[in-house]
Amino acid sequence: MSTRRATETPAELLARLVSFDTTSYRSNLDIVSFIEDYLHGHGVTSRRIVSDDGQKSSLYATIGPDGEGGVALSGHTDVVPVDGQTWTSDPFTVRAADGRFYGRGTADMKGFLAAVLAATPDFKRRKLKTPIHFAFSYDEEVGCLGVRPMLAELGKELPRPRMVIVGEPTSMQVVDAHKGPVRWLVEVKGRAAHSSMAPLGVNAITFAARLIGELERIEADLKKNVRNARFDPDYPTLQVTMLEGGTASNIIPISCTFGFEVRALPGLDPAIIERRLRQFAETECLPEMRLVAPEADIAITRKNSVTPFGADRTSDVVALALKLTGQNETHTVSFATEAGLFQEAGAPAVVCGPGDIAQAHTADEWIAESEIVKCSAFLERLGDWAEA
């Protein structure tokens, strides 16, 4: 058994967690080892779900009776980069000032992880009748990639929880719905020519611009026809997020690549958008392009998709979260979480965690100490519920 102190405060654990640079392009194995050791020191066993390249891992642990059911507390270990941001202190060293904790990941979402780990001794000493699971993932920030192999093991090597609380920063409000990002890459292939002989070439940038114009028209239709007043903005947003093309000012560009995304409302099938853009490409672009260059092409590839989330507002998990927070109403957010993926895997979810999403991903990211205090009280009430 570890000689670790019987308890560590959320602030102390937050400082330890932030000290690990778990930017998504790095390995997270060091922080996983720390959490493993911490849990082991309190008599809690855990299981790794390792990535194919062996450089990253999710972690799943259970406190209480074995078997299916119970509540999972879900969080991700990775953070977004600090590159290009101007910080007033070391991003990976927590700075406490004016009732706030500053550091990369404090709000998104190591504050929640710290509160959960600090609650471990309390959960462990209780005679839980309902199990409490920890489900910590990797690569959430780059498309919720790491949680998917873990979800594939639910009901097999890992017990499937009856409910999931995803601790993303909602200022401890209960969120029962959010939008889902779907991203595509479009590659336009034309034909190069000297710019003085433009009719001999096919300008890939020109046709990419036509496709982007169609995307603008699609978004206008979404604004008009797909609305949900619970969200802000109340329609699915669609935007081009990157664009690259051309080689020199005197060459007709042979290629142009752009990416776009939609933040889909629950109930919107993103395939409708893709089908419409493909139809436009096939009827309004490719015939003209191939009159000059038979080899011309437009490739549209879906790169990533995170399921829009919409809980049953009468579900047990929503009722439990409202009870634990003492609230009477649920909310929505426009950012994405792993909640929809858990729900698809047969584990109904809700989103509720400390911190404000407005502070996430920013320079001098911070979380209010009062938010962690509220989360710790929430977790204590969860222990009461699981013990009753």
User: Can you tell me the distance from the alpha carbon of 45 to that of 365, in angstroms, rounded to the nearest whole number?
Assistant: 32
* Active-site residue flag, 140: yes
Angle at 374 between CA 372 and CA 379, to 5 degrees: 90
* Active-site residue flag, 312: no
Give the number of other CB atoms < 10 A from CB of residue 152.
13
State the catalytic residue, choosing from 78, 139, 365, 369: 78
Give the number of other CB atoms < 10 A from CB of residue 248.
9
Q: Are strands 57-63 and 71-76 parallel, antiparallel or unpaired?
A: unpaired
Residue 146: CB partners within 8 Å, gap ≥ 6?
51, 56, 58, 76, 78, 137, 138, 139, 140
State the catalytic residue, choosing from 8, 108, 140, 365: 140
Residue 67, CA distances (Å) to 8, 79, 131, 162, 180 in order: 29, 32, 8, 11, 31
- Which are the catalytic amino acids? 78, 140
